[in-house]
Amino acid sequence: MQPHILLVDGMALLFRSFYATAPMRQFFPKQDGTPTNGVQGFARHVLSAQNLIRPTHMAVCWDMGSHTFRNELFDGYKANRTAPPEEMLPQFDMAREVSEMIGWKNFGVKGMEADDLIGSFVERWKNDAQITVVSGDKDLLQLVNPNTTIALTKKGYTEYNPYNQQRFEEEYGIQPAQFADVKAFMGDSSDGYPGVKGIGPKTALSLIQQYGSVDGVLNAISELKPGQQKKIQENIEMLQLSLQLARINTEVPIETTLNDLILPTWTQEKLALLRQNEYKLIANHAVSTFGY
């Protein structure tokens, strides 16, 4: 039987979990006042995904600081994002510590985003394993392949919007790898790059459906409507830069073996360690989910 690897976008689940309770000022503080709502929500989310997806192997991928190679390419990359709230700040390191306590393997490379690590995992094992990626980030759809499903978070801990190769092709009418070319035209307001001003998602998709790639559109630019020609010609540099920003790097060296990623087993010692560190919600979730 082929291994089934669960790849977790740690930062996406940590932020999602933090904001699920922060508006109600529910931070589940430790006795010393340190908030734990994001950390405990993240771990419970991963445990639920594990229970639902039933992987044999798992890796948790993290951004390592806010500065990446994309900031070197474009100053404005993610520049419009507000700083995390102070209650969130201690929870970045805590989330990785909790992962280690449970026995999940953390991966992060300075200058790279979690997306790039996930992409590199997919590239490395796409022929040898079934892969499910859990994230809220649609950019990852470019990684879909016959063995890789992207499960986008939807609601709570257990509802996902999953994309496999068939669904992606039916919905978009292109190959997953071409999704970055669509993003290059339409831009991404949350990542702070504009693409081509005046070209929205529908037009971007129809251009790639027809011409296959950014280069394909540029080579056939004389066939486009005059208005589209003008918009693209005025923004060619930004279009080509946006493609570099949108494309996930699938060549990050990852020092691990498949054996390193085998799912950890639960023990009473682990549960005791979590409770000792005041992560009672995680321990209780593990007990109720896996029956320890």
Residue type, 290: F
Q: What percent of the chain has pLDDT over 70?
A: 99
Identify the bridge partners of residue 59 per DSSP, sorted by sequence position. Answer: 7
pLDDT score recorded for residue 53: 96
**Strands of the sheet with 148-155, listed across from one edge:** 106-107, 57-61, 4-9, 130-135, 148-155, 159-163
Average pLDDT over the chain, rounded to an integer: 94
Q: What does the pLDDT look like over 11-31, one tens digit per residue?
A: 999 999 999 999 899 999 999
Residue 60's pLDDT band, with cuts at 50, 70 and 90, is: very high
**Average confidence (pLDDT) over 145-166:** 94
Distance CA 186, CA 189 (A): 9
pLDDT digits (tens, 9 = 90+) for 204-259: 999 999 999 999 999 999 999 999 999 999 999 999 999 999 999 999 999 999 99
Q: Which two tokens stand for residue 75?
A: 């100053």
Cβ neighbours for 198, distance < 8 A, ≥ 6 positions apart? 227, 231
CA–CA distance, 149 with 168 (Å, rounded to integer): 10
Share of the chain above pLDDT 90, in %: 86
Are 39 and 14 a contacting pair, CB within 8 Å?
yes
Q: Of the candidates 32, 23, 39, which has an alpha carbon nearest to the alpha carbon of residue 85? A: 23
